[in-house]
């Protein structure tokens, strides 16, 4: 096991990480996009992005795109490289505001968090479409880990913290249980070659209807490329 530092809230850090990783000339068979914040007060990343959108979504968008060539070189017909992105059931109530992705007009911690998680699902579906169109031996799936007892809830209202403390043993998954579907998506032969899936409790599940809107997927992808400063070659594909 080797550790390389990467701050998903910093575009500079992400680019430095990718440069360091590429210098090792290692294959990349599995990429798990799992960083995130939840219900944080209104604040920005060092690049000026609203933190939920910048860290939860744009950081992973840039990281994945910068590593795509390595993933494509590492996958084979019988053993695809895999991209697993961790979203949340919160995406079901999320709304994507393409004209205000930074939540500048009206900030709501819940709304910003839900939007970032919906964006991850839209991104995964669009990414899989592009990978298929290019004949790449890489699959992209999105995972809902469920309600897991972690420190992610440190910004919730104190009453919720008390309820969580009292009931976590009954209603919340342990971190190990919460990781099970991500691990399943990363290594199980049952999903070999299968991409564009929304997985919950190690089963394929239907995501929010809006997540299947291909035009919305394309528009988010194009706007995301502009925001992180990468070429939108995908805009020329169907």
Looking at the chain, list the stretches that DSSP marks H as alpha helix, in order from N- to C-terminal side. Answer: 11-23, 51, 59-74, 109-133, 158-171, 175-187, 214-228
Q: Is 92 a catalytic residue?
A: no
The dihedral over CA atoms of 155, 185, 81, 126, expressed in degrees to the nearest 10, equals: -60
What are the b/e assignments for 110-132, b being 16+ CB within 10 Å?
ebbbbbbbbbbbbbbbbbbbbbe
Catalytic option among 57, 92, 107, 113: 113
Taking a C-beta distance cutoff of 8 angstroms, is the pair 147, 197 a contact?
A: no
Catalytic residue numbers?
113
């Amino acid at each position: 096991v080797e550790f390389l530092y990467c701050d998903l809230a910093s575009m500079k850090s992400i680019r430095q990480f990718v440069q360091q990783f590429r210098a090792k000339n290692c294959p990349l068979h599995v990429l798990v996009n799992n960083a995130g914040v939840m219900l944080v007060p209104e604040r920005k990343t060092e690049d000026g992005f609203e933190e939920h959108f910048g860290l939860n979504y744009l950081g992973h968008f840039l990281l994945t795109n910068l590593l795509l060539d390595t993933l494509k070189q590492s996958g084979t017909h019988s053993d695809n490289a895999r991209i697993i992105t961790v979203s949340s059931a919160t995406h079901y109530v999320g709304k994507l505001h393409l004209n205000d992705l930074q939540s500048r007009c009206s900030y709501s911690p819940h709304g910003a968090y839900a939007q970032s998680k919906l964006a991850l699902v839209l991104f995964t579906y669009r990414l899989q479409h592009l990978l298929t169109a290019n004949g790449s031996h890489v699959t992209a799936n999105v995972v809902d880990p469920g309600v897991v007892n972690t420190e992610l809830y440190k910004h919730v209202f104190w009453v919720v913290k008390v309820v969580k403390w009292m009931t976590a043993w009954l209603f919340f998954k342990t971190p190990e249980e919460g990781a099970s579907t991500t691990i399943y998506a990363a290594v199980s032969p049952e999903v070999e070659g299968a991409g564009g899936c929304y997985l919950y409790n190690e089963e394929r599940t239907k995501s929010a209807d809006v997540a299947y809107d291909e035009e919305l997927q394309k528009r988010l992808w194009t706007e995301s490329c502009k925001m992180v400063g990468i070429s939108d070659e995908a805009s020329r594909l169907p």
